[in-house]
Amino acid sequence: MLSGGGRGSVTQHSALSTFQAKHLHFTRGVKKNLTLAFALTGLALALATASILSGCSSVARALNIENPRYSIQNLRPRVNIAIPPSASTIDIDFDLGVDNPNSVGLRLDHVDFDLLVNNAELLRTTSMQDVRIPARGFNTVHMVSRVGYENIRSMFHEIADIIQNRHAQYEVNGTAYYDTPIGIMRFPVSVYTSR
């Protein structure tokens, strides 16, 4: 009985060893295939990313988006006198004309700008916009600037020229941010007018 049991054990052991060898060979093959699959997937993703990035720069070169031209229009200063005087303000409303020479439409997102009167900085502000400028077209952007009491006191001569409608030069310097087909682009804005 021992000899029969020993032979069965040897047979079982041999079958187990054969199964383990086949399983080990199968596992190595699967690992090799998975490693190869991951490497090919990584390569494909790297190629796709490079293709997209070079495509975007090609689109940018093909579109050749340039800075629009700007103008100041409909300048309207308004004095708001209040009691107490520290609540007084001057509002300067104007339209910023945007002439788009590009073959694609642009969407003006916002403008960071300084407003100068007679070469003196009156205020620094951001004007949030969502104005579409058509391809090879023109649109205006309404801008509102408020000068508070402290600024009025420190710039009395410039403010007096505004109030008395004397000759004054208005200047807008800043940056315009556009949403374009190739992403957000920013352009300098520098424009002036006399009144």
Alpha-carbon distance 124 to 175, whole Å?
12
Distances (CA, A) of 118 to 90, 91, 97, 98, 122: 16, 17, 21, 23, 9
Measured from the Cβ of residue 92, the count of other Cβ atoms closer than 10 Å reads: 19
User: Looking up tokens 């590009």, which residue turns up?
Assistant: 102
Element (H, E) at 83: none
The amino acid occupying position 6 is G
The pTM is what? 0.62
pLDDT at residue 60, as a whole number: 47
pLDDT along the chain (195 residues), means of 10: 52 58 59 68 65 51 83 86 84 91 93 86 81 95 82 68 70 92 91 83
Question: Residue-wise over 93-112: b if at least 16 C-beta within 10 A, else e?
Answer: ebbbbbebebebbbebbbbe
User: Looking up tokens 């021992």, which residue turns up?
Assistant: 2
Alpha-carbon distance 185 to 69, whole Å?
15
Contacts of 46 (CB under 8 A, 6+ apart): none
Three state DSSP letters for 110-171 = EEEEEEEECCEEEEEEEEEEEEEECCCCEEEEEEEEEECHHHHHHCHHHHHHHHCCCCCEEE
Backbone angles phi, psi at 175, to 5 degrees: -135, 130
pLDDT at residue 66, as a whole number: 93
pLDDT at residue 56, as a whole number: 47
pLDDT at residue 92, as a whole number: 83
Token pair belonging to 50: 């490079």
